[in-house]
Chains A and B, each alone.
Chain A
Amino acid sequence: MDVANLASQLNAGLILPEGIVIITLLLVLVVDLIQGRKANRVTPYIGIGGLLASLGAIAFQWDNPVSNAFLGSFSSDPLSLVFRAIIVLSAMVTIMISIRYVEQSGTSLGEFITILLTASVGGMVLSGANELVTIFVALETLSISSYLLTGYMKRDPRSNEAALKYLLIGASSSALFLYGVSLLYGLSGGQTELVAIATNLAASDQSLGLVIALVFVIAGVAFKISAVPFHQWTPDVYEGSPTPVVAFLSVGSKAAGFALATRMLITVFPLLTDEWHFVFTALAILSMVLGNIVALAQTSMKRLLAYSSIGQAGFVMIGLIAATEVGYASMLFYLFIYLFMNLGGFACIILFSLRTGTDQISEYAGLYQKDPLITLGLSLCLLSLGGIPPLAGFFGKLYLFWAGWQAGLYTLVLVGLFTSVISIYYYIRVVKMMVVKEPQEMSEVVKNYPKVTWDLPGLKSLQVALVLTVVATTLIGILSNPVFTLATDSVNNTPFLKLDLARTGTQPVAVLPEAIAPANPL
């Protein structure tokens, strides 16, 4: 194969979004190197601009008929495009809300943005990776940059503790994942492409090895989406990390995990569909129940959102388990909405902690008299996370539960409904703390609240991010049709999902696993 022939087969244009982000991160690095601390005025905006350009490149590829690049190791189908857009958007909002936070802590901003951009490159490649080596390298790029970001406030023992915990648990889960992947390589007779593995596995008998590989792969994926019982790192890491990093981990990193789960489990394990659906049902129920119940007892806002994000991951899993067209579409729809409501909530928390230096829930008492913007934004985002109509989160949950009910997942939907009610309680507790308190019940911190100004460098972009995400959270609920269509189209036009839906039967009723596939004896 000569060079010209190879270059024409690579379809390298399909990774243009990733390429733009990589060029941006190099640019940030060089500008930061040349200008020193003065560069803090420029570098975040270079980062945001690059991510916007990357988003444009993603939108431009929407109708591209060719989706396979790099000889099958990367596929840029509509599903991966949606996931990549979610990751890029979350990285963009994260940069916007992090500028003031990082500068106030005295750490360097250029490197922070560089590492964050690398993490999003890892997540983006992971969303489209179609081959085991690419999957693993992308996963490690995402994970290692996340560890570094977690420990970024290096003089703070909490940050150190979080980074160490995340590193140790993450490394062991990577090792498990790698072991599972190596079993797949062996069982398929030395294939690394997901489709080729599935073909070779279908030709051979089912074996214990395949089940072990499935278990190990699920362990690796569940760590990324922090599903119970692989969630132990989440509360401590969320509490000790810089808050913008938590925002990215809870949205971008989680979306990448879901992209990996969808592509890998559906493509490689059609033989074990019942089994992995069963495992994910257990994970979803545990995540919803434990995440939402433990969140009731939290006193710190960051920990509260950590447990709430565990619960939210449980809700999203319902869409994946439903395995219908609407199921996958509702998963994408919910992740897209979750992006705005969660990042909006984090923007408010960051603003509050920058002004007062605390994130205790009790300190929010009586905030509405001093800072109506934070109160309004945080209330809307939390109510949306809880699923109160007419906010976006309500429609997202409705769609998820409807898809689950249609697919016959009655237990799962009932548990979801029940835990949503619990979650509304702890979200409203925070809203009540901010809004209902009388002036004399105000917390000390709020009494001494500084005058609201937006003059300090970096606060303007935080304000813009806050307003944008809150507006999106409010309006997407009412104007959900375009997003809805986008999610459905991306599921319909994605080759591997089409194959899967054709195999299981497109009728939503027929997705009951017992109805279509004769039980495969192990």
Chain B
Amino acid sequence: MNLAEGVQLVSFIILAVAMIGAALGVVLSPSVVYAAFLLGAVFISISGLYLLLNASFVAAAQILIYVGAVNVLILFAIMLVNKREDFQPVKFAWVRKAVTGGVCAGLFLLLGTTIITTPWAFSTETPIGDDAIYLIGEHFFSDFLLPFELASVLLLMALIGAIVLARRDFLPDAALTSDIENLKLPERPRELVSAAKTEQ
């Protein structure tokens, strides 16, 4: 093992430990804000792994998109919904946690076995390194042209949808005075028969 390989191994171990620790923190931390910040740490460690794999463009995109956009959005959402509420402790909460833990452990074992037993086909080409960005661009305008263009339609629609959901609707007076409920389903809600019976 030469120096380069040693550095690689050590940085891999550091990144992996940081990632697993932060991911456990996301799941186990009782405070949502800490969980959100730890999620950012997970994303940054993943981008470190991409750097180790010689994929610098993906690493940069990971930080820009996940830390810069997704994680900031999550933090904003948490800040907007800052209503403090004390929940009643649920009875037998540990059963839920145990079952979740069991399912997750089972899934981990299954996927772990899959990864170890599968004869993966390794690529013999040398990693393209920093030229990847040119290659990605070429793919975007040749064999990935259709999804690339379709993604623009998707983004346009997401933009419109976000505006529709977030804007304050202007209700014309004519509609306000009528007995029609605005921005609601025309069907009346169901009467909850069983609930009404227990109250009596």
Contacts and interface: CB of A to CB of B under 8 A. Distances in A.
B110 to A, nearest CB: 7
B185 A118 contact: no
A37 B151 contact: no
Interface stretch (B59-67, B76-84, B96-104, B116-124): B116-124
A140 B150 CA distance: 10
Interface stretch (A154-162, A311-319, A473-481): A154-162
Interface in A345-359: 353-354, 357-359
B157 A187 contact: no
B89 interface: no
Given A140-B154, A141-B150, A353-B186, A133 B144 contact: yes
Contact of A155 (B121, B151, B182): B182
A15 B110 CA distance: 41
A228 B186 CA distance: 29
B154 to A, nearest CB: 5
A131 B147 CA distance: 9
B172 interface: yes
B183 A121 contact: no
Interface stretch (A86-94, A206-214, A513-521): A206-214
Nearest to B193: A299
B161 A125 contact: no
Contacts of A168: none
B171 A106 contact: yes
Interface residues of A, number: 70
Given A73-B146, A155-B182, A106 B169 contact: yes
Contacts of A37: 172
Contact of B185 (A140, A159, A190): A159
A205 B186 CA distance: 57
Contacts of B153: 22, 118, 121, 141
A144 B164 CA distance: 14
B119 to A, nearest CB: 6
Q: Which of B146, B156, B158, B180: most chain A Cβ within 10 A?
A: B146
A155 B111 contact: no
Interface string A237-268: 00010110000000000000000000000000
A204 B108 CA distance: 25
A10 B113 CA distance: 41
Interface string A177-194: 000000100111110000
Contacts of A190: 123
Q: How large is the interface on B (under 10, 10 to 19, 20 to 34, 35 or more residues)?
A: 35 or more
Contacts of B91: none
Contact of A70 (B115, B146, B164, B184): B146
Interface string A139-157: 0110011001001111110
Nearest to A189: B121
Contact of A134 (B150, B165, B169, B181): B150
A208 B114 CA distance: 6
Contacts of B199: none
Contacts of A134: 146-147, 150
Given A189-B121, A207-B119, A212-B114, A114 B150 contact: no
Contact of B142 (A6, A133, A186, A357): A6
A114 B183 contact: no
Contacts, number: 155
A107 B157 contact: no
Given A104-B180, A158-B189, A70 B119 contact: no
Contacts of A299: 190
A360 interface: yes
B160 interface: yes
A105 B146 contact: no
B118 A187 contact: yes
A101 interface: yes
A125 B180 contact: no
Interface in B135-154: 141-147, 150-151, 153-154
A148 B145 CA distance: 26
Given A141-B153, A148-B164, A106 B187 contact: no
A120 to B, nearest CB: 11
B197 interface: no
A240 B172 CA distance: 25
A400 interface: no
A31 interface: no
Contacts of A204: 119, 121
Nearest to B141: A6
B186 A15 contact: no
Given A29-B160, A141-B150, A209-B118, A154 B183 contact: yes
A443 interface: no
A141 to B, nearest CB: 5
B175 interface: yes
A357 B121 contact: no
A115 B160 contact: yes
Nearest to B161: A148
Given A159-B184, A207-B119, 5 more contacts: A74-B146, A106-B182, A106-B183, A134-B146, A204-B121
Which 10 interchain pairs have the tightest Cβ spacing?
A: A189-B121, A148-B161, A106-B182, A155-B183, A209-B118, A156-B184, A118-B157, A137-B147, A70-B146, A71-B143
Interface of A: 1, 6, 10, 15, 22, 29, 37, 69-74, 101, 104-108, 111, 114-115, 118, 121-122, 125, 131, 133-134, 136-138, 140-141, 144-145, 148, 151-156, 158-159, 183, 186-190, 200, 204-205, 207-209, 212, 240, 242-243, 299-300, 302, 353-354, 357-360
14 contacts: A1-B142, A15-B146, A69-B146, A72-B143, A73-B143, A105-B184, A106-B175, A121-B150, A134-B147, A187-B121, A189-B123, A204-B119, A208-B114, A243-B187
